[in-house]
């Protein structure tokens, strides 16, 4: 393909940012301490240019899709009429419009559009996005397997772990923070099933006080966990550092590492053994790579967090991860419980690894029929919330089916 701006030509311009809100059900519900999720409600963006090139991006609908849609509309104003290849200028411009005051929602909107801009750059120059982040180091990015264990039964956890091992996954993950005795039983059942060569990590999602966490981590010592993710309140970095200094179980920071300035602060305080964060929380692929570089300097591994990913975010982040040194810890994904990833060609997940596309841009295209269908699901049934009671039944009607691929 030819460059966007041949010598002497006027700069290419963004002409439109289209937003599609979709509700995509899970094949199995996600149960965490805040409630139960039956699927993901996200916004898909298409950034269009006057050269006919369209880039795609995605943002999770958290905390509410209406707020996210408004944030996208406001952010789009800072790229309409601008050159899409000037990505870092867009990031600075978006911040100057006030999003640094409201980063928890602003970063997600900015990241969605930034993904689409990188997609445009790669398509225009005929190269994959990973070339902009240093080139390909690995074609395969390892992922964890999310064990939903809907009924909180050790036997179900064991069966789902066996499914994961049969598919080649080397890392298992469960949500805990409900009842410590049962949490321990779940983790032990999984570890007993998968053996010593497969990592097991647990995530209480800030469920414990520092006092409770100290006791819980002692109980988990004999399980042989890879790590415990965000055991205490996200704002208590001093408590996290103190806990880590006294614990024999490794600790990961997620909610404590949502924002760009928090990552170096966690590193400075030696508050975590592992950093778990993502482009939507940090504000783009560029800030994510910056965070990864800081972690690399500190010899702390970074794990891509799954902040309600569909296929676009998973692949976009994998372009950055593919440029980083291997081996890497297993990264987070929702692919194994999604009924559709919204891509024309599904994400290639092989033996627990995502195979990184090598085509121009992100190397993926939307399945527009699927987008239309899941827009209809949102229109007819609303958004899938992540907070609230652990409801026993799906909000979708009995007999609801997702069209086959």
- At 171-183, the pLDDT tens digits run 999 999 999 999 9
**Average pLDDT, rounded, for the chain:** 95
Q: Return contacts of 95-102, CB within 8 angstroms, 24+ apart.
A: 95/283, 99/75, 99/283
- At 97-153, the pLDDT tens digits run 888 889 999 999 999 999 999 999 999 999 999 999 999 999 999 999 999 999 999
**Per CATH, domain 131-355 is 3.20.20.120:** yes
Ordered by start, the domain boundaries in the chain are 14-127+366-381, 131-355
The phi, psi pair for 162, rounded to 5°, reads: -65, -40
Q: Secondary structure of 149-179 in the HEC alphabet? A: CCCCCHHHHHHHHHHHHHCCCCEEEEECCCC
| Cis ω for the linkage preceding 217 (within 30 of 0) | no
Q: What local confidence, expressed as pLDDT, does residue 6 receive?
A: 58
- At 204-249, the pLDDT tens digits run 999 999 999 999 999 999 999 999 999 999 999 999 999 999 999 9
Q: What local confidence, expressed as pLDDT, does residue 390 receive?
A: 85
What's the predicted TM-score (pTM) here? 0.95
Contact assessment for residue 251 and residue 227, using Cβ atoms and an 8 Å cutoff? yes
> How buried is 350 (Cβ within 10 angstroms: 0-12 exposed, 13-18 middle, 19+ buried)?
exposed
Task: Domain 14-127+366-381: give its CATH superfamily.
Answer: Enolase-like, N-terminal domain (3.30.390.10)
User: CA–CA separation, 226 vs 243, rounded Å?
Assistant: 16
Longest Cα separation, the chain: 69
Q: From the CB of residue 273, how many other CB atoms can be counted at a distance below 10 Å?
A: 17
- At 96-107, the pLDDT tens digits run 888 888 999 999
User: CA–CA separation, 89 vs 13, rounded Å?
Assistant: 14
């Amino acid at each position: 393909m030819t460059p966007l701006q041949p010598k002497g030509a006027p700069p290419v311009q963004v002409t439109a940012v289209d937003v599609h809100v979709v509700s995509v059900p899970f094949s199995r519900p996600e149960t965490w301490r805040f409630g139960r999720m039956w699927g993901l409600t996200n916004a898909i963006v298409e950034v269009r240019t006057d050269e006919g090139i369209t880039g795609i991006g995605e943002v999770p609908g958290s905390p509410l899709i209406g707020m996210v849609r408004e944030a996208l509309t406001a952010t789009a104003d800072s790229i309409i009429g601008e050159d899409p290849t000037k990505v870092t200028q867009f990031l600075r411009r978006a911040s100057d419009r006030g999003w640094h005051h409201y980063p928890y929602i602003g970063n997600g909107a900015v990241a969605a559009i930034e993904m689409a801009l990188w997609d445009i750059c790669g398509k225009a120059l005929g190269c994959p996005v990973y070339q902009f982040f240093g080139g390909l180091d690995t074609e395969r990015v390892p992922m964890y397997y999310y064990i939903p264990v809907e009924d909180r039964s050790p036997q179900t956890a064991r069966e789902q772990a066996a499914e994961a091992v049969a598919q080649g996954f080397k890392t298992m993950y469960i949500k805990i923070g409900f009842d410590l005795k049962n949490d321990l039983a779940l983790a032990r059942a999984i570890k007993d099933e998968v053996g010593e060569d497969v990592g097991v990590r647990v995530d209480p999602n800030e469920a414990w006080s520092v006092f409770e966490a100290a006791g819980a981590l002692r109980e988990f010592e004999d399980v042989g966990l890879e790590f415990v993710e965000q055991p205490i309140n996200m704002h208590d970095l001093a408590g996290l550092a103190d806990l880590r200094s006294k614990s024999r179980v490794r600790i990961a920071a997620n909610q404590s590492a949502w924002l760009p300035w928090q990552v170096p602060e966690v590193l400075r305080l030696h508050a975590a053994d592992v950093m778990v964060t993502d482009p939507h929380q940090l504000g783009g692929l560029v800030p994510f790579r910056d965070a990864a570089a800081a972690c690399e300097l500190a010899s702390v591994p970074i794990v891509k967090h799954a902040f309600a990913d569909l296929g676009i975010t998973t692949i976009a982040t994998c372009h950055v991860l593919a440029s980083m040194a291997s081996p890497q810890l297993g990264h987070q994904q929702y692919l194994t419980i999604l009924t559709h990833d919204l891509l024309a060609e599904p994400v290639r997940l092989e033996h627990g690894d995502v195979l990184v596309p090598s085509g121009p841009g992100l190397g993926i295209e939307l399945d527009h029929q699927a987008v239309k269908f899941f827009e209809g699901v949102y229109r007819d049934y609303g958004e899938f919330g992540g907070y609230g009671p652990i409801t026993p039944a799906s909000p979708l009607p009995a007999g609801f089916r997702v069209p086959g691929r």
